[in-house]
């Protein structure tokens, strides 16, 4: 079977299936059973050409201005071929291409706002070829303009255009000689280095005396050790998995992954380092580990960033995703004097909400998700894991300079009063889309019915109290803890988050959910049944 046949349905590519919220994701390499390639070079040519056409319509510049698009990629094994395909699509559409090679997602956005004509910046648009932490056979595309990452509706528009381009001129055979190569990461890392220097009072090497271990998980984040930390004076001995390797042989590059966090924690402890920093594959997500091996991710990273940002902007609003803890709200509002706006899941939703609040007059400086995505107003609301780490580094350097303390204890102390639940769990219930109960409205309607039934059950249970302000799913307090049942952003799945002071309380919360959802035949509640059974 040819690659094109493999990827098509009756000779047609189902471009819509490639949409994953505000990204494009697909299978780019054959070899995994049941996962046929659907993000081929040909589809990528069409998608890039469609982005070029979309950008021309969006920018509305005089026809004499030739728009320029930068392309970067992470360490995936399909990166080079998809980069070539994307470049062909753009050149074929009559626009200029600049190739950055191995890059990070935030660097690609940054290139749309960098003012430096000698390196062909700002570009009018940028494409990052990445599938974040997904397995080696996947890949995808993210798109940027100087207004930020493209949203869901833009992606639908681009895929509709791509399908048309694909059916009209399936393969554009065009030379690559017109594509220019630029080392943009040099500029991006210089921006990060300068941000730390500025924040640390103009010192050239403000991290002198710090030992910081980086774990890039063989993704694109290896640059952080040699090009950011070392010029700032830090020792990076014992940093690991900095070399790009698209098979990700050591662990999944994902700060939400247990094994990945265990790996960086071990490295920090073995090295007796002051701090550990871990990135996902394309460096838009990050987490840290303090010198005692305490993970600074999820609610803790949000609390830490909130403490830093609220010290700079007293009273400001912190926007987060929906699965954040009650303890975080108490910390932000009670201890830090800020406002916690718990919004929806999805980094783009969270960041867009931060931007929106400012437009309606509410001061918000930080928008951050438990996944390790985060953006600050001071950094153009750029979703950048590396910039979150820059803020931690500034804090460390400033504390050392002022004699406030040396090492990451300074960071841990900032969140000393964050209350954490003893039990934290996430269970995910699949909806069987081929089940006869699934009506014309599909899994989303079905999921909504489940949620509405839960809503009714909760209302009649005196031990449970529904959250008065909630933007996604059903969030309920009870037995000293809480749960949230919601629809997954992309998958036919209902994720359930529970936090509780004890296993017994968690089981009571879980049982209340089970009572409300067990009669929904298309919903696989086995994970919850097993959880309750212990
Ligand atoms: O809704 P879920 O299935 O839990 O997935 C939600 C997550 O999807 C993607 O990974 C996005 O990058 C995250 O920003 C988002 O939080």
pLDDT digits (tens, 9 = 90+) for 342-373: 999 999 999 999 999 999 999 999 999 999 99
- Structurally, the chain folds into a number of domains equal to 3
Contact (Cβ atoms closer than 8 angstroms) between residue 479 and residue 485? no
Q: How far is the CA of 103 from the centre of ligand 1 (A)?
A: 22
Which tokens in the block code for residue 308?
Answer: 């830093």
- For residues 351 and 376, give the distance between their C-alpha atoms in angstroms, rounded to a whole number: 9
| 381 CA → ligand 1 middle, Å | 19
Pick from 370, 369, 373: nearest CA to 384: 373
Whether 177 and 212 share a structural domain:
no
Same domain, 316 and 348: yes
Tell whether ligand 1 has an atom less than 6 A from the beta carbon of residue 373.
Answer: yes
- Clarify whether residues 194 and 88 are in a common domain: no
Which candidate, 206, 187, 268, 190, places its Cα nearest to that of 393? Answer: 206
Regarding the beta carbon of 447 and ligand 1, being less than 6 Å apart is answered no
Q: Is 241 left (phi over 0), alpha (psi -120 to 50) or beta?
A: left
Q: By C-alpha distance, which of 406, 208, 237, 372 is closest to 302? A: 372
Check: CB of residue 212 under 8 Å from CB of residue 277. yes
The three-state secondary structure class of 493 is strand
Asked which of 182, 206, 233 is the last residue of a domain, the reply is 182
- List pLDDT tens digits, range 420-465: 999 999 999 999 999 999 999 999 999 999 999 999 999 999 999 9
Residue with tokens 């380092």: 273
Residue 53 shares a structural domain with residue 119 = yes
b/e per residue 264-276 (b: at least 16 CB within 10 A): bbbbbeebebbbb
Report residue 12's pLDDT band, with 50, 70 and 90 as the boundaries: confident
Are residue 29 and residue 71 in the same domain, yes or no? yes
pLDDT of residue 9: 42
Domain end point (choices 136, 165, 182): 182
Same domain, 248 and 111: no
Q: Point out the least confidently predicted range of 10-19, 224-233, 521-530.
A: 10-19
- By the 8 A CB rule, do 115 and 121 touch? yes
pTM of the model: 0.95
So what's the ipTM on this one? 0.97
From the CB of 369, is ligand 1 less than 6 Å away?
Answer: yes
User: d(Cα 505, Cα 87) in Å, to the nearest integer?
Assistant: 55
Q: Which residues of 502-524 are buried (b: 16+ CB within 10 A; e: fewer)?
A: eeebbbbbbebbbebbeebebbb
Integer Cα distance of 71 and 468 in angstroms? 45
Length of the chain: 534
Kindly list the distances between the CA atom of residue 318 and the CA atoms of 91, 202, 295, 304, 483, in Å, as whole numbers in the listed order: 42, 28, 21, 12, 21
For residue 491, how far is its CA from the centre of ligand 1 (angstroms)?
9
Ligand 1 pocket, mutate which of 489, 494, 495, 497 (most atoms under 8 A from CB): 489
Same domain for 368 and 439, yes or no, is: no
Neighbour tally for 64: CB within 10 Å: 5
Q: What pLDDT score does 362 carry?
A: 98
pLDDT of residue 173: 65
> Which one, of 211, 217, 330, lies nearest residue 278 by Cα?
217
Q: Looking at ligand 1, which atom is closest to the CA of residue 350? A: 14
pLDDT for residue 2 is more than 50: no
Kindly state if the Cβ of 208 falls inside 6 Å of ligand 1: no
Same domain assignment for residues 34 and 162:
yes
What are 523's strand-pairing partners?
431
Between strands 474-478 and 465-466, the pairing is antiparallel
- Choose among 49, 24, 254: nearest CA to 140: 24
pLDDT tens per residue, range 53-75? 999 999 999 988 999 999 999 99
Q: Let me know whether 31 and 119 are in one domain.
A: yes
Decide which of 164, 182, 200 is a domain's last residue. Answer: 182
- Give the pLDDT mean for 257-266: 98
Those residues with Cβ within 8 angstroms of residue 47's Cβ, 6 or more apart along the chain or in another chain: 15, 18, 24, 86, 89, 141, 158, 159, 162
Contact 220, 281 (CB under 8 A): yes
Separation CA 73–CA 91 (nearest Å): 18
Q: Answer yes or no: is pLDDT of 114 > 90.
A: yes
Averaged pLDDT score across all residues of the chain: 95
The 10s digit of each residue's pLDDT in 14-38 is 999 999 999 999 999 999 999 999 9
CA–CA distance, 460 with 310 (Å, rounded to integer): 39
**pLDDT at residue 1, rounded to an integer:** 34
- Residue whose CA lies nearest to ligand 1 atom number 13: 346
Is the per-residue pLDDT at 11 higher than 90?
no
Q: How far is the CA of 237 from the centre of ligand 1 (A)?
A: 33
Q: Are residues 441 and 385 in the same domain?
A: no
Same domain membership, residue 393 and residue 284: yes
Shortest-distance Cα residue to atom 7 of ligand 1:
346
Q: Is the pLDDT of residue 150 over 90?
A: yes
- Candidate of 347, 352, 428, 429 to mutate for ligand 1, largest count of ligand atoms within 8 Å of Cβ: 347
Cα of 131 from ligand 1 centre, angstroms: 13
- Is residue 345 in contact with ligand 1, taking CB distance under 6 Å? yes
Provide the CATH number for the domain around residue 518.
3.30.310.50
Confidence check: pLDDT of 5 > 70? no
Is the N-terminal amide bond of 122 cis, ω within 30° of 0? yes
Question: How far is Cα 303 from Cα 491, in angstroms, rounded to an integer?
Answer: 29
DSSP state of 378: G
CA of 422 relative to ligand 1 center, distance in Å: 24
Predicted pLDDT of residue 479: 98
- Mean pLDDT along residues 228-246: 98
- Nearest by Cα to 176 from 45, 19, 314: 45
Residues 370 and 516 placed together within one structural domain of the fold? no
Residue matched to tokens 């559409």: 93
Of 15, 18, 84, 93, the residue nearest 49 (C-alpha): 93
- Ligand 1 centroid–CA 345 distance in Å is 6
Lowest-pLDDT choice from 4-8, 213-217, 398-402:
4-8
For helices 41-59 and 79-92, the axis angle rounded to 10 degrees is 50
486 C-beta closer than 6 A to ligand 1 = no
Provide the CATH number for the domain around residue 285: 3.40.120.10
Segment 97-117 shows an average pLDDT of 98
Range of the structural domain that residue 481 is part of: 423-533
* 372 to 188, 283, 424: CA distances (angstroms): 20, 10, 17
Ligand 1 centroid–CA 107 distance in Å is 21
Residue 148 has pLDDT above 60, yes or no: yes
Ligand 1 binding pocket includes 149 (Cβ within 6 Å): no
Atom of ligand 1 nearest to the CA of 491: 3
């Amino acid at each position: 079977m040819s690659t094109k046949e493999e990827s098509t349905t009756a000779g047609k590519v189902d471009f819509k299936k490639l949409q994953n919220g505000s990204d494009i994701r697909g299978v780019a390499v054959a070899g995994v059973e049941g996962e046929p390639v659907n993000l081929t070079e040909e589809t990528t040519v069409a998608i890039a050409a469609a982005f070029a056409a979309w950008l021309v319509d969006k920018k509305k510049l005089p026809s004499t201005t030739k728009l320029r698009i930068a392309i970067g990629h992470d360490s995936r094994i399909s990166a080079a071929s998809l980069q070539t395909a994307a470049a062909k699509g753009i050149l074929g559409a009559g626009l200029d291409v600049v190739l950055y090679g191995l890059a990070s997602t935030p660097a690609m956005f940054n290139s749309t706002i960098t003012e430096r004509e000698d390196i062909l910046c700002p570009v009018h648009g940028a494409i990052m070829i990445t599938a974040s932490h997904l397995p080696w056979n996947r890949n995808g595309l993210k798109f940027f303009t100087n207004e930020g990452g493209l949203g869901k509706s833009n992606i639908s528009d681009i895929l509709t255009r791509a399908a048309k381009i694909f059916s009209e001129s399936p393969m554009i055979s065009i030379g690559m000689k017109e594509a220019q190569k630029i080392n943009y990461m040099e500029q991006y890392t210089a921006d990060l280095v300068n941000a730390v220097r500025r924040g640390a009072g103009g010192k050239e090497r403000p991290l002198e005396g710090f030992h910081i271990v980086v774990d890039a998980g063989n993704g694109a984040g290896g640059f952080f050790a040699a090009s950011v930390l070392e010029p700032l004076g830090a020792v990076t001995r014992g940093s690991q998995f900095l070399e790009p390797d698209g098979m990700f042989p050591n662990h999944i590059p994902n700060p939400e992954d247990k094994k990945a966090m265990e790996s960086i924690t071990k490295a920090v402890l073995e090295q007796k380092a002051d701090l550990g920093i871990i990135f996902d594959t394309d460096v838009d997500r990050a987490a840290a580990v303090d010198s005692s091996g305490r993970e600074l991710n999820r609610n803790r990273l949000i609390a830490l960033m909130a403490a830093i940002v609220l010290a700079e902007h007293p009273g400001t609003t912190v926007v987060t995703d929906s699965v954040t803890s009650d303890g975080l709200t108490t910390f932000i509002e009670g201890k830090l004097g800020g406002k916690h706006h718990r919004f929806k899941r999805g980094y783009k939703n969270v960041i867009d909400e931060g931007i929106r609040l400012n437009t309606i007059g509410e001061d918000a400086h930080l928008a951050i998700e438990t996944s390790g995505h985060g953006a600050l107003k001071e950094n153009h609301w750029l979703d950048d894991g590396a910039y979150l780490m820059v803020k931690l580094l500034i804090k460390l350097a400033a504390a050392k300079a002022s004699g406030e303390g040396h090492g990451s204890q300074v960071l841990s102390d900032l969140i000393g009063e964050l209350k954490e639940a003893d039990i934290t769990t996430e269970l995910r219930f699949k909806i069987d889309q081929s089940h006869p109960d699934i009506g014309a409205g599909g899994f989303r309607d079905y999921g909504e019915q489940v949620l509405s039934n839960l809503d009714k059950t909760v209302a009649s249970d005196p031990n449970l109290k529904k959250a008065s302000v909630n933007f996604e799913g059903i969030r309920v307090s009870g037995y000293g803890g809480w749960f949230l049942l919601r629809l997954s952003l992309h998958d036919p799945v209902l994720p359930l988050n529970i936090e509780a002071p004890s296993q017994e309380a968690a089981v009571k919360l879980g049982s209340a959910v089970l009572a409300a959802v067990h009669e929904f035949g298309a919903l696989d509640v086995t994970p919850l049944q097993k959880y309750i059974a212990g």
